[in-house]
């Protein structure tokens, strides 16, 4: 049951009926007709802008349309009151019986409550994390990982066939540097004094085990081998080891990808990068030319030369983008173009990429590439996750990759736990910077929204445990609860809680459309607050307590409400990938 959708459909039907009656002109565009809860609850439960939106094209006064619409809508059985307000808003208020029926619907639909079939089974590819396989994931990767994972959950919940994908940047200079670092560690294991790790290589201790594995697998045989022979072997071993670690890091956050796509696989057999470039060349979008030097900062290294360029300026980019490095190898962008070409070739018409803030400047050219490669038929949404600043009790945590003091994802998860990390990473809009305080996130107080929401769920479960001592037949999901006489739920606080529950499907739909999982987190906080509030009212007013030892009928109805509340809390937390505990200990 989706209250919002139901009312919206009723309004559209009423508008069409007015057209049949000749009271409204034909050919009106209803797409901007919306239904939304008014900011001020005194205005009612739901309001519509229909009359305001249609006034101009219908060549009628807003209030004139509104009055006619109200006459039609008055017949709605759910409606308790309906009136025209302000410039032409239609404010509706629904009868308690209508809200009570929402509880019954939630109990019937259970985990399916809130599902909206936006995707209609269409396939969509969500690429996220995609960190270099040159070391463990650091805390900055956390946010993209959690964001992507929650977005995948949200899209699956709303009817999309989602492929969660990780692009492994396993070619280019960085993985060669990793291989050389591993080779040094290999020589170290065999007893050589390797001294300082040279600049440009990876000094971290995490490379040492790779050296040990190499020594075990190859003995001393690689020592006398020239670099062009050992490098591919060492590189493969090092990348494989890093990927194992990355997958473990992701698993610690409960983040799962369906596909790990290797950049190097693009050129292993058939050269897909070359094919992609040629395809664009045939479309007139790749050419040989020169770029102006970057403005505004002196770059002594700048060398003017003719190069292979993609005409991204045709798609709104500032400059055309290089596809070949001066040594003849492909740029990262050229490979990434081929990768997106590959995604399109696998039949994806909907693509989402999750980027870190440092890649924000890369966004336009990727969109340009997808537009060019799909002839505008595919859509790509790029979500940029802004920086995460790490604090401990208000003090910034200094990080330096060079000094080896950067904080890994694993350290954060081990220190504060998976649920707080996930929730806090989602308790902020993706494009706003995030301060993450390792000390505060562990405080089990109302300062911490994670525990606040989880506690609401645990509290709901606790009510059932306690109710069972008085009314053994009133178990969760029992017929006596499911068939309770819901007309007892007439306290304003109870109705408010139901209204909050009733808003869930619309909230999910909006979050999925906008690709904004944080909306779910904020919604859950509000829902939890409504529930905690109703609970506490029982402190002052004993007749509002959920368990009424002398009234099994009333208790059953309130338990039904609590069960519906718990269902929605659990569904929402599941979308965020956060546990909904039965008790807090």
Q: Which of residues 320-359 bind RNA (CB under 7 A)?
A: 321-322, 325-327, 329, 331-333, 357-359
Report if residue 447 touches RNA, rule: CB under 7 A: yes
CA distance 6 to 8: 5
CB of 98 or CB of 535, closer to RNA: 535
Q: For residue 287, state whether it binds RNA (rule: CB under 7 A).
A: no
Determine if 298 is a binding residue for RNA (CB under 7 A). Answer: no
Kindly state the DSSP code that residue 232 receives in the 8-state scheme.
H
Cα separation, 508 vs 156, in Å, equals: 11
Q: How far apart are alpha carbons 48 and 91 in whole angstroms?
A: 7
Closer Cβ to RNA, 76 or 222, answer by number? 76
Q: Based on CB atoms, which residue is closest to RNA, 295 or 402?
A: 295
Contact assessment for residue 408 and residue 137, using Cβ atoms and an 8 Å cutoff: yes
The distance from CA 557 to its chain's CA centroid, rounded to whole angstroms, is: 35
Strands 46-48 and 89-94 come out as antiparallel
Residue with Cβ nearer RNA (194 or 442): 442
Is residue 217 near RNA by the rule CB under 7 A? no
The reply to whether 41 sits near RNA by the rule CB under 7 A is no
Q: Which stretch binds RNA (CB under 7 A): 200-208, 373-381, 410-418, 536-544?
A: 536-544
Whole-angstrom distance, CA of residue 484 vs CA of residue 496: 19
The distance of Cα 207 from the centroid of its chain, to the nearest Å, equals 32
Residue 390 interacting with RNA (CB under 7 A)? no
Nearest approach, Cβ of residue 582 and RNA (Å): 8
* Residue 536 engages RNA in binding (rule: CB under 7 A): yes
Of 219-227, 249-257, 398-406, 524-532, the window that binds RNA (rule: CB under 7 A) is: 524-532
Nearer to RNA, 100 or 353 (CB): 353
Contacts of 455 (CB under 8 A, 6+ apart): 528, 532, 584
Question: Contacts with RNA in 136-195 (CB under 7 A)?
Answer: 169, 171-174
Is 29 a binding residue for RNA by CB under 7 A? The answer is: no
For the bound state, the minimum distance from the C-beta of residue 416 to RNA, rounded and expressed in Å, comes to 14
Q: With contact defined as beta carbons under 8 Å apart, do 43 and 84 qualify?
A: no
Alpha carbon distance 210, 208 (integer Å): 5
In 302-428, DSSP assigns E strands to 307-310, 321-322, 350-356, 379-385, 388-392, 395-396
Among the listed ranges 143-151, 213-221, 298-306, 403-411, the one in contact with RNA (CB under 7 A) is 298-306
Q: Considering the rule CB under 7 A, would residue 199 count as an interface residue with RNA?
A: no
The answer to whether 542 contacts RNA (rule: CB under 7 A) is: yes
- Residues 203, 185 contacting (CB under 8 angstroms): no
Contacts with RNA: how many residues (CB under 7 A)? Answer: 104
Contacts with RNA in 124-143 (CB under 7 A)?
132
Cβ distance to RNA smaller for residue 135 or 577 = 135
Q: Give 33 or 107: the residue with its C-beta nearer to RNA.
A: 33
Nearest approach in angstroms of CB 97 to RNA is: 23
Question: For residues 399 and 203, what is the distance between their CA atoms, to the nearest angstrom?
Answer: 15
Q: How many Å separate Cα 269 from the centre of its chain?
A: 35
The reply to whether 433 sits near RNA by the rule CB under 7 A is yes
Give the interface segment with RNA, choosing from 14-22, 141-149, 184-192, 541-549 (CB under 7 A).
541-549
CA distance 46 to 180: 64
Tell me the two tokens of residue 308.
């292979």
Identity of the residue, 189 or 575, whose beta carbon is nearer to RNA in the bound complex = 575
Closest CA to 205 of 406, 487, 435: 406
Which of 215, 520 has the CB closer to RNA?
Answer: 520
Which residues between 454 and 493 bind RNA (CB under 7 A)? 455, 458-459, 462-463, 465-466
The DSSP code for 36 is: E
- Structural tokens at position 322: 């290089």
**Nearest CB to RNA, comparing residues 215 and 373:** 373
Distance CA 179, CA 541 (A): 70
Segment holding 125, helix H or strand E: strand 123-127
Which listed residue (31, 282, 400, 445) binds RNA by CB under 7 A? 445
Q: How far apart are CA 125 and CA 344, in angstroms?
A: 10
Chain position carrying tokens 């809130």: 114
d(CA 409, CA 534): 38
Identify the residue among 47, 70, 234, 373 touching RNA (CB under 7 A).
47
Per CB under 7 A, does 525 bind RNA?
A: yes
Residue 393 contacts RNA per CB under 7 A = no
Report the residue from 435, 480, 491, 551 that binds RNA according to the rule CB under 7 A: 435
Bridge partners (DSSP) listed for residue 260? 166
| Spatial contact of 351 and 378, defined as CB atoms under 8 Å apart | yes
Consecutive H or E run containing 524:
helix 518-540
484 SS3 class = coil
Stretch touching RNA by CB under 7 A, among 63-71, 135-143, 158-166, 505-513: 505-513
Among 143, 410, 518, 567, binds RNA (CB under 7 A): 518
Assigned token pair, 211? 């050296």
Q: Contacts with RNA in 223-282 (CB under 7 A)?
A: 263
Q: Which member of 2, 18, 28, 44 binds RNA (CB under 7 A)?
A: 44
Angstrom distances, CA of residue 72 to CA of 3, 82, 188, 237, 425 = 18, 11, 84, 72, 46
Q: Out of 27, 39, 269, 284, point to the residue binding RNA (CB under 7 A).
A: 39
Residue number, 88 or 577, with CB nearest to RNA: 88
Considering only 25, 289, 361, 492, the residue that binds RNA (CB under 7 A) is 361
CB of 552 to RNA, least distance (A): 14
The single residue among 304, 375, 393, 400 that binds RNA, judged by CB under 7 A, is 304
| Binding segment toward RNA, per CB under 7 A, in 9-17, 116-124, 183-191, 299-307 | 299-307
Which residues within the stretch 80-119 sit at the binding site for RNA (CB under 7 A)? 85-87, 89, 91
How far is CA 358 from each of CA 237, 355, 388, rounded to the nearest angstrom? 28, 8, 12
Pick one of 1, 349, 360, 495: the residue that binds RNA (CB under 7 A).
Answer: 360
Binds RNA (CB under 7 A): choice among 196, 305, 375, 402: 305
């Amino acid at each position: 049951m989706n209250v919002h959708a139901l009312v919206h459909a009723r309004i559209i039907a009423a508008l069409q009926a007015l057209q049949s009656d000749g009271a409204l002109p034909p050919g009106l565009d209803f797409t901007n007709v919306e239904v939304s809860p008014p900011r001020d609850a005194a205005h009612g439960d739901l309001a519509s802008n229909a009359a305001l939106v249609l006034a101009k094209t219908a060549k009628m006064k807003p209030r004139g349309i509104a009055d006619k619409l109200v006459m039609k809508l008055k017949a709605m059985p759910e409606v308790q009151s309906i009136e025209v307000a302000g410039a032409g808003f239609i404010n509706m208020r629904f009868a308690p019986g209508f809200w009570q029926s929402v509880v019954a619907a939630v109990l019937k639909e259970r985990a399916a409550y809130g599902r909206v079939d936006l995707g209609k089974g269409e396939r969509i590819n969500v690429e996220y994390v995609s960190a270099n396989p040159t070391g463990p994931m650091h805390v900055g990767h956390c946010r993209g990982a959690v964001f992507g994972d929650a977005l995948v959950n949200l899209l699956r919940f709303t009817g999309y066939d989602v492929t969660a994908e990780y692009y492994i940047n396993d070619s280019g200079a960085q993985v060669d540097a990793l291989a050389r670092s591993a080779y040094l560690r290999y020589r170290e294991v065999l007893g050589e004094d390797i001294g300082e790790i040279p600049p440009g290589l990876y000094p971290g201790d995490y490379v040492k085990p790779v050296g040990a594995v190499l020594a075990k697998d190859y003995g001393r045989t690689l020592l006398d081998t020239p670099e062009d022979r050992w490098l591919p072997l060492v590189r493969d071993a090092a990348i494989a080891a890093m990927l194992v670690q990355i997958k473990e890091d992701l698993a610690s956050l409960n983040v799962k990808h369906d596909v790990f796509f290797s950049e190097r696989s693009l050129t292993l057999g058939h050269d897909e990068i070359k094919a992609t470039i040629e395809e664009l060349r045939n479309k007139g979008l790749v050419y040989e030319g020169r770029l102006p030097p970057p403005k505004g900062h002196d770059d002594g290294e700048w060398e003017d030369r003719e190069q292979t360029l993609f005409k991204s300026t045709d798609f709104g980019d500032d400059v055309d983008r290089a596809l070949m490095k001066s040594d003849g190898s492909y740029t990262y962008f050229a490979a990434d173009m081929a990768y997106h070409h590959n995604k399109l070739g696998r039949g994806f018409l909907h693509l989402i990429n999750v980027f870190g803030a440092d890649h924000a400047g890369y966004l336009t050219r990727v969109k340009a590439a997808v537009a060019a490669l799909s002839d505008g038929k595919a859509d790509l949404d790029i979500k940029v996750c802004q920086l995460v600043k790490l604090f401990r009790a208000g003090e910034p945590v200094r990080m330096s990759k060079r000094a080896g003091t950067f904080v890994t994802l694993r350290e954060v998860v081990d220190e504060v736990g998976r649920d707080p990390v996930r929730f806090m990473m989602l308790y902020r809009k993706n494009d706003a910077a995030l301060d993450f305080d390792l000390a505060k996130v562990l405080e089990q107080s109302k300062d911490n929204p994670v525990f606040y929401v989880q506690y609401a769920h645990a509290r709901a479960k606790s009510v059932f445990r306690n109710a069972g001592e008085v009314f053994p037949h009133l178990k969760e999901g029992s017929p006596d609860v499911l068939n309770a006489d819901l007309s007892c739920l007439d306290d304003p606080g109870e109705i408010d809680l139901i209204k909050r529950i009733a808003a869930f499907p619309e909230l999910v739909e909006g979050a999925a459309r906008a690709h904004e999982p944080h909306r779910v987190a904020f919604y859950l906080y509000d829902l939890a607050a409504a529930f905690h509030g109703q609970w506490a009212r029982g402190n002052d007013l004993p007749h509002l307590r959920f368990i009424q030892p002398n009234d099994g009928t009333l208790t059953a109805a309130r338990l039904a409400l609590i069960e519906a509340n718990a269902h929605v809390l659990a569904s929402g937390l599941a979308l965020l990938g956060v546990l909904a505990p039965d008790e807090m200990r």
